[in-house]
């Protein structure tokens, strides 16, 4: 009789909104509830598939969580699984270590929450003998590896390990319980159920080492479809796995080439067409798009100047597509340059634009002033909100380039005479 389980991690229940762009109250409500809906989807999937266990490899919560509503919600989903005869195995992650309710929550007896000492829960399922190994770290930082604290494999048994780890490190994630994927393969467990890194990855080798990614993205930096892993331990002790989609709302970057747009309506039609293509590719119930407008178009000035009208137009068209939302519009269009034979364009705003692009924004004093303003803003924010400035000096300097370029274009758009009408 096969043993089947679902592996997930990093739910970050009731995570606060991290995008200042979500001023749409309906969109904010959708995202604010999405992590709960993802857990409901996972519980539904467990029951529908009649799995034997659910494994959660850390970060159920999102930091210093004090809401008992979150705790009661989690307990209700665990109770559903308990009543269906499904066991749950949980290791705490770095965010769970910060949670005040982690130690206080009473869960059904079918739930095993691993503590600070390595533990192996042995199970018998038909002719299969299984051991599920887990270890939780009690503090939000684990700079040293935890692998050596785990028990060695139980002989003649399918061994499944659960670990919250950054492995060798990942962009945007703190180093946590670091180890090499090759060391996990060499440990001898048949399956490693990992958590911490929010992007799905399968680390090839002699064993199965799976980072499932998070089941629900929370902002544009967690774009793409999210999923869990359904694992089957066959009677011959071989393992097979499937990826199952879980995200209720899917963030996506949507590029829009406006090079062919000569009128406002043509631009809006191109935006709608790109949104429609993205909507058709999205399997999640909701699509949350960040539009990236590109290309050389005579509308570039107008798009920047009337950004609010553009947002209203695109939101209306997104609503017609159904369950499609606009998180933000990024405008990186340029104005086609047409210089007469004499050399000067005759348009003072265009000439100022050329001067700014070729000289002013490259001046050291201006760059230093913008850099200091960004650093001051970043340093005043809490640590979790500082990611916009990049992970290294190169990314920070790229942000400064972007701000100088976009800021100059926005200023020039406001200087352009209002000579055209919105058609």
Q: Average pLDDT per run of 10 along the chain, which is 423 residues long? A: 96 74 78 93 98 94 71 92 97 64 76 92 96 84 82 97 85 72 94 94 93 94 95 96 96 97 96 97 96 94 89 95 95 76 55 60 72 78 68 76 70 58 44
Query: CA-CA-CA-CA torsion for 216, 219, 224, 225, nearest 10 degrees?
Result: 20
Catalogue the E-assigned strands of 234-357.
239-245, 249-257, 286-294, 324-331
287 token code pair: 């699509």
Residue 168: CB atoms within 10 Å:
11
pLDDT at site 98: 45
pLDDT at 423: 44
Number of Cβ within 10 Å of residue 333's Cβ equals: 24
pLDDT of residue 419: 45
What's the rounded Cα separation, in Å, for the pair 273 and 165? 41
Q: Please enumerate in sequence order all residues whose Cβ is within 8 A of that of 195, keeping only pairs 6 or more positions apart, or say none.
A: 9, 10, 56, 57, 58, 59, 91, 93, 162, 163, 164, 165, 211, 212
The token duo for 383 is 């640590």
What pTM was estimated for this model as a whole?
A: 0.79
Where do the H-state alpha helices sit in 57-130? 68-83, 94-98
Helix/strand/coil percent split, the chain, to 5: 35, 20, 40
Which residues make beta-bridge pairs with 87? 53
Check if the beta carbon of residue 172 is closer than 8 Å to that of residue 384.
Answer: no
The pLDDT, as a whole number, for residue 20 is 47
3-state secondary structure (DSSP) of residue 232: strand
| Count of C-beta atoms within a 10 Å radius of residue 220 | 17
What pLDDT score was predicted for residue 421? 44
User: Do 297 and 267 touch, CB atoms closer than 8 A?
Assistant: yes
Q: Which domains are seen in the chain, by residue range?
A: 3-245 (3.60.21.10), 248-336 (no CATH), 346-423 (no CATH)
């Amino acid at each position: 009789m096969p043993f089947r389980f679902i592996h997930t991690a990093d739910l970050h229940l009731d995570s606060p909104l991290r995008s200042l762009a979500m001023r749409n109250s309906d969109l904010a409500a959708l995202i604010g509830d999405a992590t709960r809906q993802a857990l409901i989807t996972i519980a539904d999937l467990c029951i529908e598939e009649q799995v034997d266990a659910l494994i959660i490899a850390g970060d159920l919560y999102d930091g210093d969580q004090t809401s008992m509503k979150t705790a009661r919600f989690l307990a209700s989903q665990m109770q559903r699984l308990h009543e269906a005869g499904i066991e749950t195995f949980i290791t705490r992650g770095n965010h769970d270590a910060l949670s005040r309710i982690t130690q206080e929550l009473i869960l059904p007896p079918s739930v095993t929450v691993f503590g600070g000492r390595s533990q192996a829960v042995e199970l018998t399922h038909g002719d299969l003998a299984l051991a599920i190994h887990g270890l939780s770290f009690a503090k939000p930082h684990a700079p040293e590896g935890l692998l050596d604290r785990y028990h060695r494999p139980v002989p003649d048994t399918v061994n499944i390990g659960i670990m919250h780890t950054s492995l060798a490190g990942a962009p945007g994630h703190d180093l946590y319980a670091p180890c090499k994927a090759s060391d996990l393969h060499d440990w001898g467990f048949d399956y490693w159920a990992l958590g911490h890194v929010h992007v799905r990855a399968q680390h090839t080798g002699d064993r199965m080492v799976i980072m499932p990614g998070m089941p629900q993205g929370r902002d544009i930096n967690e774009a793409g479809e999210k999923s869990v892993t359904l694992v089957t331990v066959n009677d011959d002790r071989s393992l097979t796995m499937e990826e199952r989609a879980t995200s209720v709302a899917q963030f996506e970057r949507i590029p829009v080439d406006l090079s062919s747009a000569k009128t406002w309506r043509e631009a809006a039609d191109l935006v709608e067409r790109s949104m429609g293509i993205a909507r058709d590719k999205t399997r999640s119930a909701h699509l949350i798009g960040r539009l990236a407008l590109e290309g050389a178009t005579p509308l570039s000035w107008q798009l920047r100047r009337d950004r609010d009208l553009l947002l209203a137009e695109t939101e209306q068209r997104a609503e017609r597509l159904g369950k499609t939302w606009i998180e933000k519009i990024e405008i990186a269009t340029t104005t086609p340059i047409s210089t007469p034979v004499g050399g000067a364009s005759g348009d003072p705003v265009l000439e100022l634009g050329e001067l700014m692009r070729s000289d002013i924004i490259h001046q050291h004093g201006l760059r230093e002033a913008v850099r200091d303003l960004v650093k001051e803003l970043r340093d005043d924010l809490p640590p979790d909100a500082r990611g916009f400035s990049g992970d290294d000096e190169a990314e920070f300097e790229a942000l400064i380039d972007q701000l100088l370029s976009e800021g100059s274009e926005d200023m020039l758009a406001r200087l352009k005479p209002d000579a055209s009408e919105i058609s």
